[in-house]
Amino acid sequence: MARDLPGVVDALFAGQTVALWLADGTDHELVQTRLQSLWQGAQLTQEPPRCLTLPIHYDGEDLHEVAQRCGLSPREVIALHCGVNYRVAWLGFLPGFAYLDGLPEPLQLPRRSTPRVSVPAGSLAIAGSQSALYPCESPGGWHLIGRCNLTLFDPRAEPPSLLLPGDRIRFEPVGVPE
């Protein structure tokens, strides 16, 4: 889409928004008019979503705290978390960081008051109404409830991200703790 808009240097898509970076001197009204024309003429195609089941070790360092705050046992947290289908809403924050819609309401907590300096790659986390997998080590403020040992992002792969917008995701517990 960005290649069809005059003066667009870069574009970023997230959720239901688009950010455009324009070259100096670009006619903003022309870009807006062209964007509206593209939108009105867009052919919406809907491919069937990919359905993926990811193995998860539910041993995250926040699992017991999440259970306590939600008034549940760790086993109940695990059962609720892996008992639903998630939808990859968008990728952002980090390359391959997939925001997953569908977190059951009893597990919905605000982000941590103090983010961690380092979250290990593959960490499965929850915050708000979403779940997510950290594709690489990074700072983060979500509650860590498990980990996935699959490669979530590989810049040499095509596509580089294992998870793509629209995918349907299920989690399969591996080695459930007592």
Structure tokens at 35: 């964007």
Backbone angles phi, psi at 74, to 5 degrees: -55, -40
Domain segments of the chain as ranges: 2-40, 51-173
pLDDT bucket at 54, cuts 50 / 70 / 90: very high
Q: What is the pLDDT of residue 13?
A: 64
- Own/partner contacts of 46-49, CB < 8 Å, gap of 24 or more, are 47/166, 49/87, 49/166, 49/167, 49/168
Question: Comparing 11-25, 81-95, 98-112, which segment has the lowest mean pLDDT?
Answer: 11-25
What CATH architecture does domain 51-173 belong to?
Answer: Beta Barrel (2.40)
For the chain, how big is the Rg over CA atoms in Å? 19
Provide the percentage of residues in the chain whose pLDDT is more than 70: 90
Q: Is the pLDDT of residue 147 over 90?
A: yes
pLDDT bucket at 23, cuts 50 / 70 / 90: confident
